Amino acid sequence: MSRGYVYALCSESCPHVKIGFTTTSPHQRVAEVNAGGVYAEYGKWHLIDCREVHDCRKVEKALHRRFADRQVSDYSTARELFAIPVSEALGALRAIPETEIIDIISVSKLLKDDGLLRYLHGLYRATGLENFFDAQEAWTFSLFPSTNGGERYFTLNIDNHEVAFSGLAKGSSTPFHCIVMDELIQQDREAMRWLKGKSAQVYRPPYKNAFPRSVMVQFVSEFDIARSFLSTGTVRRAVLAYWYDYLLAKTDRGTRSIFARFHNYNAVSEIFATMRESERFLSGK
């Protein structure tokens, strides 16, 4: 078996979806496809979605068989193009059997924890990560990582430092939350009063490569309350001011985080998929 990723790519210059596999990482594979070879002339290609699986060659073949009747034969050497809509490619990747998925236990645990999942939806929206799906590995997400004390639900990094994490301290039943944002949060009296009521701490992040105007906000609350804090205007502006600047600087350089090997593509894909489902439900579509 070949552990790796099956992926789907799309391009504004091509009406078809590319389905393939890689044993490195989706980030590296997209860069390779766009750099040259058979598919480069039909790019620039972008990642639609992917899954990390136990046997990427086997799963890729199954996906190719599924869409065999719509395999595109217009290009003699490009054999991984399919005339299917993006929504169908997304559905096919999500329908891969759980037995094939790497670390399905932690992803299933996430999907069963409604409070944590909704908090992550709110965090991704408030920080603009929705617009940086294609930049994964410049930002990284680890799910239920091991720590030296207490329990960590997740850790989110941009470049080489943490920008958000939540967990449980030993002996506590209420989660704590840490978020790095722009110091303009300190200018909002209402937000600061709210944080004071949650026994919050606001201090300079202990990271050498943090931007000068950054502060780390740490507070204790249930997930739904923490999510409501993220949705307030000043908080959104403060996190966007920091995260967007950092992400744009990172993606402009095209480099990967040193934590890329810990990035959980499967968890991120499920978070975005459930975000899309909740948005369709709210819109009535």
Residues 88 and 144 in one domain: no
Q: If pLDDT is split at 50, 70 and 90, which confidence band does 209 have?
A: confident
Residues 69 and 116 grouped into a single domain: no
Q: How far apart are CA 30 and CA 25, in angstroms?
A: 9
Task: Answer whether residue 155 shows pLDDT above 90.
Answer: yes
**Final residue in a domain of this structure, among 76, 100, 124:** 100
The position carrying tokens 């620039």 is 44
| pLDDT recorded at residue 197 | 86
Residue 203 has pLDDT above 90, yes or no: yes
Cα angle 181-193-214, degrees, rounded to a multiple of 5? 15
The closest alpha carbon to 149, from 174, 169, 132, belongs to 169
Q: Pick from 78, 100, 122: which residue ends a domain?
A: 100
If asked whether residues 203 and 267 sit together in one domain, one would say yes
Check pLDDT > 60 for residue 149.
no
Residue 195 has pLDDT above 70, yes or no: yes
Domain end: 34, 65, 100, which one? Answer: 100
Model pTM score: 0.91
Query: Within this chain, do residues 54 and 170 fall inside the same structural domain, yes or no?
Result: no
- Residue 45 domain boundaries: 4-100
Are 108 and 93 members of one domain?
no
**Residue indicated by tokens 């490619």:** 89
Residue 283 clears pLDDT 80, i.e. is over it:
no
Q: Are residues 128 and 157 in the same domain?
A: yes
Query: Are residues 96 and 127 both part of a single domain?
Result: no
Task: Look at residue 24 in the predicted model and tell me its pLDDT.
Answer: 94
Residues 187 and 115 both lie in one domain: yes
Same domain, residue pair 111 and 232: yes
Give pLDDT, residue 38. Answer: 87
Question: Closest Cα partner for 140 from 106, 169, 166, 163?
Answer: 163
Neighbours of 147 (CB within 10 A): 11
Is 76 in the same domain as 124? no
146 & 266 share domain: yes
Judge whether residue 146 has pLDDT over 80: no
Total domain count, the chain? 2
**Same structural domain for residues 145 and 249?**
yes
Q: What percent of the chain has pLDDT over 70?
A: 96
